[in-house]
Every structure is written in C-alpha cells, then in structure tokens.
Amino acid sequence: MFKKVKALCLREVKYKESDKVLTLLSSEEGRITVTARGAMKTNCIFASAARSPVYAEYTLNRTGDHWYIKEAETIEQFSGLSGSFEAYSLACYFCELLEEVADSDYPGPDMLRLGLNALYALSEGLFPMEQIKAVFELKLASLAGFEPEVGACCICGEENPETPALSLEGGILHCVSCPPGTGGKSEVLSPAVLSVIRRSFDADLKRIFSFRIPSEELERLSRVAENYLLAQLERGFGTLDYYHSVAKAPAHTIKK
C-alpha cells in the first residue's frame, strides 16, 4: 500500500546503523511515525527530507503495521535557521510541542499550518523571536483544546479590567481585585498583553504574528504564554530549557 503525504518532520531518531525513525505531521493524517531506511547513508536520495525541521512530500509504503519512506521531495528546508543557535533551538521546541499535542492518525491541518508559518517566520527573521514564540504557544494551546476564557473577568464580568490577570491552571481571566476561585498561580497581564492574547486566538493564521507591541510588554507576553501552556500540559520540555540557555548566552552562529 502506497500513499503520498505532505508533512513536516518533527523529529528524527537514529535506528540501527543507517536508518532513521521520523515523526511527521501531516494535514490529513496528523502525527505519523515512519522509518527512513538508509537515511544515514551518503547516497540516500531522500536524506535531505529525513531530518527535522523539514517540510516535504513523502511517498510512503506500508508493510504490516509500519510505514516506510519510498521517496521524498523536499519543499521547504527553513535554511535561515542554520544561521542562529537561538532560532534553531526555538524551532526544535516548536517541533517538540507539535509532537506532544498532535493526534496520531487524525487530521491536523491548522496545527500544521501554524507550525509551518511559525518556522518560516523564524527562519526569515520576520518578527522578533519572543513574539513568534508567544503567539505560537497561545495559538497551539487553543488548537489543543486549552484556550482560556479571556472575554471578561469570570467574577465581575468586566470585559476590560484595569489590571487583568490570567489563572494558569484555571484558564480564566479575572481582575486582580477579584479572586478567581481556583488554585494555582495567576499571571498579571496588562491591557496591551490581554489584547494580543485575544487577537492570537482570533487572527487568521497567515497574519497571526503581525502586530506591534512595546518591548517591555513583549517580555511579559512571552512569560505569560509560556507559563500558561506549560501549566496546561503539566510538563516541561528539554528543548525549551536549551532555548533559554542559548538565548541568555552571547550571540552565536552555526558554522556551515
């Protein structure tokens, strides 16, 4: 049985001496695990598509319960990521998040589009990295079913609180002066950050990263988005820890 899928390679793991096991994200099939036989060999015709993060069209062959790559044609390599450890480490974090929340064998077109748009914006340096990261985390939380209730304060009903706060575990908006009635920590927002959070859930995926926000507010937005998503997923990510360590270090470039 053969089929063709356009998919984003989220992860590559060496298998045996010359093979790889890939985790792919496609629009029609969701998350798929495939084996790339001979991907480590220098003469492998699809080696460039058997790595993360790459978007490619894969021709797959099924034997029993396993899928194997027969052919692959690279569509987008996100080559701009190779110039920065910070950008590349953030891309790895995006891929790990997508792998965590995407369903196996279930359509995920919006997750794939979000991932591709975020990686492209990151690769091309279209927006500040913190901006791309924060919006990606917020929108992914929404697509994964963790969108918080931010239309109004859950206690008094005020749509635009003077000092809003977001309950990380409860996923609800409340005024600082209105206790949310849920356990756990709340992050204090600002009207500007609240506006961006609301926009992240409603904006078209093509324009989702395009907005202006002062640098001090961007730092707050980045912290809130990250802490909210991690609280909802109830876990941490090694790729995120590495990104933070690289982001704090002096600027580096990856030698080609």
Segments in the chain forming alpha helices (H)? 85-101, 109-124, 129-143, 191-202, 215-233, 238-248
First to last CA, the chain: 39
Closest by CA position to 105, among listed 30, 212, 196, 26: 30
Tell me the whole-structure pTM to 2 decimals. 0.93
Give me 255's structure tokens.
């030698």
Instruction: Determine how β-strand 66-76 pairs with β-strand 30-36.
Output: parallel
DSSP state, residue 36: E
- pLDDT given for residue 254 in this prediction: 47
The string of pLDDT tens digits covering residues 124-150 is: 999 999 999 999 999 999 999 999 999
Q: How far is CA 211 from CA 91, 164, 202, 204, 206, in A?
A: 21, 21, 13, 12, 12
Q: 231 vs 63, which has greater pLDDT?
A: 231
